[in-house]
């Protein structure tokens, strides 16, 4: 009997050890990460890169660039204090393939406010959903444990605001959809201790039936969203302007090399074109 008990105890301990990594590692979709820095400048909500006297030369240069951005889509974010203790999050989303204003266009951002994941939206999870364009319909949803219902308590634009335009930008000279989103973190109780929620951002163009999502996962499965790590520090200028200068220098150096070493005798392939980011329309609310 004693031996039997020891065997059972050993099996339990072994199972505990095997389960431990799952329990300890707070998993999000691997490879999808960014840092949300304290803004150097507060944005102008006009759905475009606003002209102005910006510290880093433009409205959205004081931001990090997320890893693994999908082809055809770009987003970045920063945050500000507004009137004391409120934490205001600001997002820029650009969708290069969409230059049409369609009723069926949408943008959505899911936020796991308490970073507890799950296979379905929980009550701490929100989804900011904007359909159409140009004063489109903006709704904030809250998880129920199995799906989404409209959040019972929010006001526009005090708690959440979305403004868009079809415009050119420093990221792409061809006019395309540009979205600016601002929302009050404390209103929706986003991770009060760390301000590092899991999030998912997606845009859909009805005209081309193109969905681009970061990560390319379901809006209904918090376990599969990416990580946004909040930082109380502004992004070091060295990581923005200097990085652009460095990349430009490398591009110039590479161009110079090929011009010098391979005059006329070789034709260089233009390279692999970007893969289509046309995905099936995974989920429409
Ligand atoms: Ca702006
Ligand atoms: Ca469109
Ligand atoms: Ca959650």
pLDDT in tens, 208-245: 999 999 999 999 999 999 999 999 999 987 566 444 44
Instruction: Give 112 Cα–ligand 3 centroid separation in angstroms.
Output: 4
Is 256 a residue whose pLDDT tops 50? no
Instruction: Give 74 Cα–ligand 1 centroid separation in angstroms.
Output: 15
Looking at residues 195-205, what average pLDDT do you find?
95
Looking at residues 188-193, what average pLDDT do you find?
72
Is 61 a residue whose pLDDT tops 50? yes
Per-residue tokens: 224: 């599969």
Instruction: Give 33 Cα–ligand 3 centroid separation in angstroms.
Output: 17
Looking at residues 125-133, what average pLDDT do you find?
96
pLDDT for res 178? 98
Instruction: Give 31 Cα–ligand 3 centroid separation in angstroms.
Output: 20
pTM summary value: 0.76
pLDDT for res 237? 74
> Residue ranges of the alpha helices (H) in the chain?
2-24, 241-261
Per-residue tokens: 183: 């929302």
Longest dimension (CA), the chain: 87
Give all domains of the chain, ordered by start, each with its CATH number: 26-234 (2.60.40.1190)
Give the three-class secondary structure for 245.
helix
Instruction: Give 111 Cα–ligand 3 centroid separation in angstroms.
Output: 8
Looking at residues 3-15, what average pLDDT do you find?
45
Calculate the CA 247 to chain-centre distance: 23
Asked whether the beta carbons of 190 and 254 are under 8 A apart, the reply is no
Q: With cut-offs at 50, 70 and 90, classify the pLDDT of residue 91.
A: very high
Per-residue tokens: 213: 């999502």
Give the three-class secondary structure for 254.
helix
Q: What is the mean pLDDT of the chain?
A: 81
Instruction: Give 165 Cα–ligand 1 centroid separation in angstroms.
Output: 10
Closest ligand relative to 103 C-alpha = 2
Listed in sequence order, the residues at least 6 apart from 179 whose beta carbon sits closer than 8 Å to its beta carbon are 47, 91, 92, 93, 94, 95, 107, 130, 162, 163, 164, 203
| Sign (positive or negative) of CA dihedral 187, 191, 196, 201 | negative
Give the helix/strand (H/E) hosting 53: none
Per-residue tokens: 44: 């102008």
pLDDT in tens, 136-158: 999 999 999 999 999 999 999 99
**CA distance linking residue 181 with residue 253, whole number of Å:** 38
């Amino acid at each position: 009997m004693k031996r039997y008990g020891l065997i059972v105890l050993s099996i339990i301990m072994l199972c505990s050890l095997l389960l431990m990594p799952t329990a300890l590692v707070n998993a999000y979709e691997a490879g999808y990460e960014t840092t949300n820095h304290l803004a150097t400048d507060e944005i102008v909500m006009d759905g475009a890169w606003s002209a102005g006297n910006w510290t880093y030369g433009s409205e959205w240069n004081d931001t990090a660039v997320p890893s693994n951005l999908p082809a055809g889509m770009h987003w970045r974010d920063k945050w500000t204090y507004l009137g004391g203790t409120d934490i205001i999050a600001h997002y820029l989303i650009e969708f290069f393939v969409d230059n049409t204003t369609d009723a069926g266009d949408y943008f959505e951002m899911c936020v796991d406010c308490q970073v507890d994941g799950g296979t379905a939206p929980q009550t701490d999870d929100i989804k900011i959903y904007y359909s159409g364009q140009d004063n489109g319909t903006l709704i904030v949803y809250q998880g129920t444990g199995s799906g989404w219902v409209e959040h019972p308590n929010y006001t526009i634009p005090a708690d959440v605001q979305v403004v868009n335009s079809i415009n050119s930008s420093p990221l792409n000279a061809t006019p395309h959809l540009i979205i600016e989103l601002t929302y009050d973190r404390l209103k929706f109780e986003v991770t009060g201790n760390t301000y590092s929620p899991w999030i998912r951002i997606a845009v859909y163009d009805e005209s081309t039936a193109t969905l681009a999502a970061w990560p390319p996962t379901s809006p209904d499965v918090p376990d599969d969203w990416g990580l946004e790590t909040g930082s109380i520090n502004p992004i070091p200028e060295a990581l923005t302007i200097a990085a652009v200068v460095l990349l430009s220098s490398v591009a110039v150096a590479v161009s110079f090399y090929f011009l010098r070493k391979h005059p006329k005798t070789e034709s260089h392939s233009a390279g692999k074109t970007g893969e289509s980011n046309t995905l099936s329309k995974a989920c429409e609310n």
